Each structure stands twice: as structure tokens, then as C-alpha cells.
């Protein structure tokens, strides 16, 4: 039984749209924001005295 989707072409990178790149960058930004915010909250009193 043939599948409805064609197999991916080898040697060619997958093509992603603007929405995919935007979600990827937004997820990275959100993760870094949470990490930096938590680090600043934990270590803030150490540096501010």
C-alpha cells in the first residue's frame, strides 16, 4: 500500500517556513529568559550584599 507522503530527498535540508523559525526562536528566547531570571533571583542577594 503506497503512502500518501513522498519520502524525503537525501542530501537536501528540510525546508521550514517563517512560522516554524519564529516558534523555534521564541522557545529559545523564553527558555533563556527563564534561566537568566532564575539565576538573577538566586544570586542577586549575593552580589548586592
Determine, yes or no, domain membership for 6.
Answer: no
Q: How far apart are CA 48 and CA 35, in angstroms?
A: 19
- CA end-to-end span of the chain: 70
The pTM of this model reads: 0.61
What is the band of 10 on the pLDDT scale with cuts at 50, 70, 90?
confident
Q: Quick one: average pLDDT of 16-25?
A: 92
The answer to the question of residue 7 being in a domain is: no
- Split into its structural domains, the chain has a count of 1
Is residue 8 within 8 Å of 14, Cβ to Cβ? yes
Task: Give, in degrees to the nearest 5, the angle at Cα 36 between 19 and 45.
Answer: 160
Please answer whether residues 29 and 21 qualify as being in contact, where contact means their C-beta atoms are separated by less than 8 angstroms: no
Report yes or no on 37 lying in a domain: yes
Amino acid at each position: 500500500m503506497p503512502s500518501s507522503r513522498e519520502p524525503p530527498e537525501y542530501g537536501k535540508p528540510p525546508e521550514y517556513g517563517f512560522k516554524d523559525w519564529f516558534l523555534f526562536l521564541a522557545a529559545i528566547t523564553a527558555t533563556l529568559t527563564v534561566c537568566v531570571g532564575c539565576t538573577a533571583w538566586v544570586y542577586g542577594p549575593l552580589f548586592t550584599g
